[in-house]
Amino acid sequence: MKIRSDFVTNSSGSSFVIAVKEELTKEKLYNIFRVSDDHPLRGIADTILERAKKTTEEALIEDHAYAVNNDDRYNDILGKGYILYSGYVSDCSSPAEDYLLNFSLNQPEEDFIFFSDY
């Protein structure tokens, strides 16, 4: 897993996008994050699962219009047969959400793509 760290200014929240080849499950996400029952990243995986809502390509393009036109990562997921999820986390709601606001986790595996859309 590649981890990219960025500083976000004037942000009250951040949206994220997940693209998977098979339905997103708790077990799949725990496996991707390599988290056990007592692992510190478990809260982040749980937050992602709670906030991720299944969406369509059309809705994703409409909801993320600026990013779709200005972020090459969308080229990797649109029109490729992925099941898409989108979610939003708020600034300072929880440590897990703060983590998601400040880091983008790029999982380069073909069957799972996750990125934050500031």
The residues that bridge with 30 in the sheet, in sequence order, are none
* Vertex 53 angle, CA 47 and 54, to 5°: 140
This prediction has a pTM of 0.76
- Chain-centroid distance, C-alpha 90: 14
Nearest to residue 94, comparing CAs of 53, 46, 52, 37? 46
- The whole-number pLDDT of residue 86 equals 93
Using an 8 Å Cβ cutoff, are 115 and 14 in contact?
no
pLDDT in tens, 75-101: 889 999 999 999 887 765 666 666 655
Q: Report whether pLDDT(2) > 50.
A: no
- Chain-centroid distance, C-alpha 36: 20
- The whole-number pLDDT of residue 23 equals 92
Two tokens, residue 87: 């979610």
Count of domains for the chain: 1
38: phi then psi, degrees, rounded to nearest 5: -110, 15
